[in-house]
Amino acid sequence: MRSNSEIATTQPRVSDPLVSIVVPFYNETETISFFYETITQVLAEMGIRRYELVCVNDGSKDDTLLKLVALSKTDDQVRVVDLSRNFGKGAALTAGVDESVGDVVVPIDCDLQDPPQLIGVMLDRWRQGFDVVLAKRSDRSSDSYLKRVTAGAFYRVHNKLSDTNIPDNVGDFRLMDRRVVDALKLLPERRRFMKGLFAWVGFKSTVVEYAREQRVAGTTKFSGFKLVNFAIEGITSFSTAPLRLTTYMGLVISAAAFLYAMYIILRTMFHGVDWPGYSSMLTVILFLGGIQLISVGIVGEYVGRIYMESKQRPIYIIQGRYQKDDT
């Protein structure tokens, strides 16, 4: 009998696979019509007839759900999954992947910065025997300078600290074989850093490159403080190196404090005067206080993750599903 962590071996590639395209939406009312028209036209031009659009509404506050439901009533290849609130992009992606039934699954954003024209190339690579086809951004000129710099720094730091390497400039846009999706479903984490989870499951992969375009409409939901939190989430999800770093930092500071104390004692013994040093003492106290707060914050990140995981809450809650054949 096969264990829960065992995935079926590679099956022969079918010539005409069912393609599940998973699209998370959050307040994207401006992009829906253009996205739908573009992706259906592109799929038709590539001769892809067997597909499903799994549209996940992640608690949008605008007319996103109404527009998605309207599309599902006119096109039986559109399925809408409506979450009970905004759970975040990772949860929305997880819901879409869980709901998909295709032989291959392709997550993509609705802003069309990731070109759907690449799906045909991905399918060709899949037919060659690759289980995962990664879409890598060869040109990020559409992103701001700050985002390009911080993204590059994040990949370098994460891959240095973690045993699970995330490919540079690769987002959620990719093609995954069904057995890769089945492996993802075995992962129990509630707090989902999807880029890391995609990389962790492994499987035979290859890369196709593309130049990233500007958003067709709307504004990005990731900027500033959210990007910082995203980076912290990624590092603490796949590495305990920050905890070891605080240990090393504590050892270094303790050794420095001991040497400084010996210096003061020897100076007093040989010179016979006490060295007040109120300014230096205040500086040292503030420095040590800052280090302690940083250390407590790092430990708190990991304790908080344990606390949230221990609750065993569902990753998402679905309050509705919509399809053309629903009554």
pLDDT digits (tens, 9 = 90+) for 40-51: 999 988 888 889
d(CA 227, CA 222): 6
| From 105-114, 139-148, 282-291, 293-302, the region with the lowest mean pLDDT | 139-148
Give 104 or 326, the one with higher predicted confidence: 104
> Is 50 exceeded by the pLDDT of residue 4?
no
| From 111-120, 203-212, 301-310, the region with the lowest mean pLDDT | 301-310
* Residue matched to tokens 């905890």: 243
Let me know if 61 is exposed, middle or buried by CB neighbors in 10 A (0-12, 13-18, 19+). exposed
| From 25-34, 160-169, 218-227, 284-293, the region with the lowest mean pLDDT | 218-227
| β partners of residue 9 | none
**Element (DSSP H or E) covering residue 133:** strand 132-139
Find the Cα–Cα–Cα–Cα dihedral 277, 279, 281, 285, rounded to 10°. 180
pLDDT computed for residue 9 by the predictor? 47
Sign of the torsion angle spanned by Cα atoms 68, 70, 75, 77: positive
What average pLDDT does the chain have?
A: 77
Question: In the structure encoding, which two tokens stand for residue 63, read together?
Answer: 């007319």
Architecture of domain 19-222+315-322: Alpha-Beta Complex (3.90)
pLDDT computed for residue 54 by the predictor? 93
Give 227 or 62, the one with higher predicted confidence: 62
> Is 80 exceeded by the pLDDT of residue 287?
no
- Residue ranges per structural domain of the chain: 19-222+315-322, 241-310
Counting every residue written for the chain, the total comes to: 327
pLDDT computed for residue 112 by the predictor? 85
* Residue matched to tokens 């490159």: 209
pLDDT computed for residue 175 by the predictor? 92
Long-range pairs for 139-148: beta carbons < 8 A, 24 or more residues apart? 139/211, 139/212, 140/169, 140/212, 141/211, 141/212, 142/113, 142/212, 142/213, 142/214, 143/212, 147/223, 147/227
Mean pLDDT (whole number) for 147-169: 66
Q: How confident is the model at residue 327 (pLDDT cuts 50, 70, 90)?
A: very low
* Residue matched to tokens 């040109």: 139
Contact 196, 234 (CB under 8 A): yes
pLDDT computed for residue 3 by the predictor? 43
Q: How confident is the model at residue 300 (pLDDT cuts 50, 70, 90)?
A: confident
pLDDT tens column, 82-110 = 999 888 888 898 899 889 988 999 999 88
100 CB-side CA count, 13 A: 35
pLDDT computed for residue 262 by the predictor? 74
Mean pLDDT (whole number) for 45-63: 90
Give 292 or 81, the one with higher predicted confidence: 81
Give pTM, 2 decimals: 0.68
Q: Of 244, 58, 59, 48, nearest to 127 (Cα)? A: 48
Give 161 or 107, the one with higher predicted confidence: 107
| From 13-17, 190-194, 268-272, 315-319, the region with the lowest mean pLDDT | 268-272
pLDDT tens column, 237-277 = 666 667 667 777 777 776 777 677 677 667 767 666 655 66
Phi, psi dihedrals of residue 168, rounded to the nearest 5°: -60, 140
Mean pLDDT (whole number) for 115-132: 88
d(CA 175, CA 128): 13
pLDDT computed for residue 1 by the predictor? 35
